[in-house]
Structure 1
Amino acid sequence: MTAALAATAVLAGCGDSAAQPSTSSGKGPLYPQITAAPAVDLAAADGSQGTVLSLPLDAYIMTSAQTATLNDAKHFLIATCMERFGYPASSAGSVPQAVSADAQSPLAWFRPTQLEAASRFGYHAPMTGSSASNQSGTGQSGTGAMPTQDPAEVVVLQGSKTGYVNGQMVPPGGCIGSATAKLSQGQTAQDANFVGDLRFQLAVRAQNESPQIRVANSAWSDCMKSMGFSYATPKDAAGDRRWGSAVPTSSEVAVAVADVKCKQKTNLVNVIAGVYQSYENQAITDHATQLKAIKDWENGQLANAAKVVATCSGAC
């Protein structure tokens, strides 16, 4: 299953059973409805320029520049630790990396929004040839397999066992744990996935309960029918199982182009962005204490990371 199909399946499968934030009373609508849709930069929403339209919860997720600093510092600390045990710095290459707010925006579900991107790539992601946008909801991604099969090296990196390797005591959690501890020094660790999970839940709820989105989807669907295509929502079009090929087909491109034209005609992305903004703003009020703690934790990690980067003499 392609990334686009997987993302669509997850979104479609959540429905009303998705975990939901609650109000203190537990009664009535949890979030206000918008009265007007804001103007949206569709090029930013499309991500075609390497950016994604900002939403309120982005303030609690690291930016691309911040994640780069954190990842550089963590990689350097792990590599240095591995070298102390006699292993190459390249061992740190398999470590999961923090992911920025740009990679977690729920508006990525509604790409493409630009005719140029649709006509060239259909629902496949530009540059990569993979289907559009991966929505994990988590804050981590990684390179995958270990670059070595040496069991002792794995122990040193991950701390899967306690004891000595090459005459030195393996730190708790291995070199990864040691680096994480140094970057978190002086901080109270928080749930790294809280914001991403909350954002995903809010987006699913908005899709299920917002009358504005329901009306916009209906108008979009009518527009698509007028062009000869039958889909209830944009996610249905993006998730069509026929788009599972390695490269976009002519049929896929035709649907994607019609999709974009109908999004523009019905103002659909603007409406969705406005509803998401409303939900996220209310969630920030509802979860103010936890979100502040997460922000403080992130800022503390970044301060520690900046110190590491400043001392690595270009080796980060």
Structure 2
Amino acid sequence: MNLNGRLIKVAAPVAAAVAIGAVAFASSGMQSNGNDIRSQQPAASAEGAGRAPKELIGNEDNPATWRLPVEDYIPLRAEVRTVSNVRDQLIDDCMSKAGYEDWQPAPDLPDLSGTSLVDRRYGVHDPALTSQRGYHPSLAVQNAYDAALEIGAVDKSGSDPGALRACVEATDAKAPDVRSDPLVQQIDSTSYVDSLKDPAVVAAFGKWSSCMKEKGYSYKNPLEPMEDPRFGHPTTVTEAEIATARADLDCRGQFDVTRTWFDTESKIQQEQIKRNASALRAIAKDNRSVIAKSAKIAAKN
């Protein structure tokens, strides 16, 4: 069973998490091509013409490599894995000493929402994946998620819940879990909602909608096809979904919808971060402390 939400889950922009099959729109830091990415300093103010600072952009053509300002206050995935692995080992050892040697922690669930916080946050962006899976995650990721879910669904060790609770509490004292702070969650979610009302985003959505209409699709904004109930089955991908997603992607590209949306939300987040600078510095400090404790234990082992 998953313990204390081992994976950091940032509050989900509700609309964006539906049709793409995400159980939660979440990320703990940024990952691209197997490497964690984060600038060493919080992002500077937005650059000319409303563009996000260059340090927030990895590959211009790959939104999965872009980084929102709030990510300075979210541990990297590698850091989360370190904490998770240490906690798993401590709890496992404790349960063995309590007489439950067959107990084992459930595997982490692959993130259906993508490899980073920005990946799929604004919808589809990968032509190859879209042509195969429409709005759904890759088949490999979906299969890995289903397999991990099945493995972790039932504890076959016959362990006592009280013993597990005691081991979790003992582990908390040695290696606290990493969690998403409520303020960080608030910035992540409200910036997304506020971006939908920004004039630049509204204008981009209007152009996208006209483009889609010319292709035979009647959607007011890019959120609607992702929420289309016809595409909501967790495993089935239809030809209609793929055709819609490809048209969606083409219209996004014609009018720079994804980048406009990202730039707008980045600016909103920068303003919120500036207003909450002191509290966010404390959050970052707490995160470093928690991660350092687990790294120290990992080094000893």
Give TM-score scaled by structure 1 length. 0.70
Which secondary structure does the structure 1 equivalent of 2:203 belong to?
helix
Q: How has the CA–CA distance of structure 1 residues 194 and 83 changed in structure 2, closer, same or farther, with 3 Å as cutoff?
A: farther
Name the counterpart of 2:93: 80
Name the counterpart of 2:245: 256
Quick check: 1:74–1:179 contact (8 Å CA) kept in 2?
yes
Q: How has the CA–CA distance of structure 1 residues 275 and 126 changed in structure 2, closer, same or farther, with 3 Å as cutoff?
A: same
Quick check: 2:103–2:157 contact (8 Å CA) kept in 1?
no
Name the counterpart of 1:62: 75
Quick check: 1:34–1:274 contact (8 Å CA) kept in 2?
no
CA deviation after TM superposition for structure 1 residue 305, in Å = 0.6
CA deviation after TM superposition for structure 1 residue 309, in Å = 1.0
Quick check: 2:19–2:136 contact (8 Å CA) kept in 1?
no
In the alignment, structure 1 residue 247 sits paired with structure 2 residue 261: no
In the alignment, structure 1 residue 201 sits paired with structure 2 residue 190: yes
In the aligned structure 2, how far is the partner of 1:295 from the partner of 1:266?
A: 36
Quick check: 1:82–1:157 contact (8 Å CA) kept in 2?
yes
- CA offset digits 1:158-201 (Å, max 9, x no partner): 2xxxxxxxxxxxxxxx211221221249xxx9863431232011
In the aligned structure 2, how far is the partner of 1:277 from the partner of 1:238?
A: 22
In the aligned structure 2, how far is the partner of 1:103 from the partner of 1:196?
A: 18
Q: How has the CA–CA distance of structure 1 residues 6 and 113 changed in structure 2, closer, same or farther, with 3 Å as cutoff?
A: closer
Name the counterpart of 1:166: none
The answer for unaligned runs of 5 or more in structure 1 is 12-31, 131-140, 159-173
Quick check: 1:104–1:196 contact (8 Å CA) kept in 2?
no
Which deviates further from its counterpart, 210-219 or 286-295?
286-295
In the aligned structure 1, how far is the partner of 2:187 from the partner of 2:150?
A: 22
Quick check: 2:73–2:280 contact (8 Å CA) kept in 1?
yes
Q: What does 1:1-316 align with in structure 2 at a 5 Å threshold?
A: 4-5=18-19, 35-38=49-52, 41=59, 43-45=61-63, 47=64, 52-88=65-101, 90-93=103-106, 105=117, 108-128=120-140, 145-148=153-156, 150=158, 153-158=160-165, 174-184=166-176, 192-207=181-196, 209-245=197-233, 246-312=235-301
Q: How has the CA–CA distance of structure 1 residues 227 and 236 changed in structure 2, closer, same or farther, with 3 Å as cutoff?
A: same
- CA offset digits 1:236-289 (Å, max 9, x no partner): 011111012322111111110000000100000110110111011111111112
- CA offset digits 1:276-305 (Å, max 9, x no partner): 110111111111122111111110111111
Identity %: 22
Name the counterpart of 1:24: none
In the aligned structure 2, how far is the partner of 1:300 from the partner of 1:103?
A: 25
In the aligned structure 2, how far is the partner of 1:233 from the partner of 1:253?
A: 18
Which deviates further from its counterpart, 246-255 or 109-118?
109-118
Name the counterpart of 2:3: none
Aligned residues: 255
In the aligned structure 2, how far is the partner of 1:177 from the partner of 1:205?
A: 39
Tell me which structure has the larger Cα radius of gyration: 1
In the aligned structure 1, how far is the partner of 2:150 from the partner of 2:83?
A: 14
The letter of the residue matching 1:249 is T
CA deviation after TM superposition for structure 1 residue 142, in Å = 12
In the aligned structure 1, how far is the partner of 2:105 from the partner of 2:181?
A: 21
In the aligned structure 1, how far is the partner of 2:185 from the partner of 2:102?
A: 31
Q: How has the CA–CA distance of structure 1 residues 206 and 302 changed in structure 2, closer, same or farther, with 3 Å as cutoff?
A: same
Quick check: 1:206–1:213 contact (8 Å CA) kept in 2?
yes
- CA offset digits 1:9-38 (Å, max 9, x no partner): x99xxxxxxxxxxxxxxxxxxxx9983335
The letter of the residue matching 2:50 is A
Which deviates further from its counterpart, 241-250 or 267-276?
241-250
